[in-house]
Amino acid sequence: MATTIGSANPVASQASDTELAVFIPEIWSAAVRASFKKSLVMANAGTDFSSLASGSGDTINIPSVADVADAATKAPHVPVNYTNATEDSLALALTSHKYASAMVEDMGVVQSNSDLLSMYSDSIGYKLALGFEVEIEAALALTTECINIAGNTVAKTIDALTLAHISKVVMENDCPLSECTMILNPTLYASLFRIDDFIHISKTGTANVQNGLVGSVMGMDVVLSNNITSTNHNDAVDSADGALTNGNVLGGFVLHNSALAYGFSKAPTVSSEYDIDYIAHKLVGDYIGGAKLVQDASQTKCWGIVEEATTAW
């Protein structure tokens, strides 16, 4: 204890840093996440077939119908020709069962001033969505059709010339640009700002845009994703029919809105249970579903965007 004579001895004062510290409470704010959520965008570009599997079943078969033969000239007195063809189908398997979980002991729940169970429940929901996003990305990466942007002036960018090339390839395959979505990684997306034709969504005044939608170019919606990590298919060819090196990491996708099919037998659900053995709340979220690239050689609907010899962006 310090003593003092007179009024001019600051050492003897009762200060908040030491003497009065016990009276000053510390305040905890609401929790913040350790990492930001990555935007989940890919399912928005696909078609949800969940309603077909609401009763039972683990596979949804999607049939395709080839066009009939070309129009022919009808000659007098000659009967018309009939042709047939065995039609194809693609199967969407709903066999992927994934979960995310957390267990929070009572002491933490009771003594915390935050709603821990809500926070972990939210985190589980997000991780399930992210897990499904990864499945979708892996499905899209199975396309054997790629567009090589290696002709760009600056490496790892999409410039006006590259964009013209992408548009040409899509149009050559009879895909209306207005029905296509371009999903890009941040490097390629950022490079679009150099192009005058890119219309950022903030300039349009559009409200209620879907998650991740950031603009449009050549009539195609452009969305940004941080979840593109797959490499091109080993049998992939570029738009000049040249074989690509295995191991190029994809920079994005161009896909028609019918290119991706997905569905859930069990929609993402979070369940909770109190465990007496651990005196804790258990939270488990899971889903049963699947995603499929609905494409064959008859109709290309999805292209991977690669830059030859790029193994990291």
Partner 1 sequence: MKDIKVIFRGRKTPSGKRANAEYMIGAKKLEMLKKDGRFEIEVLDKPIAKPKKKKAPKKETSDE
Positions touching partner 1 (CB under 8 A) are 66-70, 83, 85, 88, 144-145, 172-174, 235, 237, 240-243, 296-300
* Residue 242 C-beta: closest distance to partner 1, Å: 6
| Nearer residue to partner 1 within complex by CB, 48 or 174 | 174
| Nearer residue to partner 1 within complex by CB, 248 or 300 | 300
| Nearer residue to partner 1 within complex by CB, 9 or 64 | 64
- In which residue are the tokens 């053995």 written? 277
DSSP strands (E only) in 177-245:
180-184, 199-200, 213-217, 220-224
C-alpha–C-alpha distance, residues 94 and 55, integer Å: 13
Tell me the CB-side half-sphere exposure of residue 39, using CA atoms within 13 A: 16
Contact 62, 92 (CB under 8 A): yes
C-alpha–C-alpha distance, residues 137 and 225, integer Å: 10
| Nearer residue to partner 1 within complex by CB, 215 or 304 | 304
| Nearer residue to partner 1 within complex by CB, 112 or 173 | 173
- Residue 74 in 3-state DSSP? coil
Which of 295, 286, 256, 267 minimizes the C-alpha distance to 51? 267
* Residue 171 C-beta: closest distance to partner 1, Å: 9
* Residue 307 C-beta: closest distance to partner 1, Å: 19
Task: Bin 212: left if φ > 0, else alpha if -120 < ψ < 50, else beta.
Answer: left
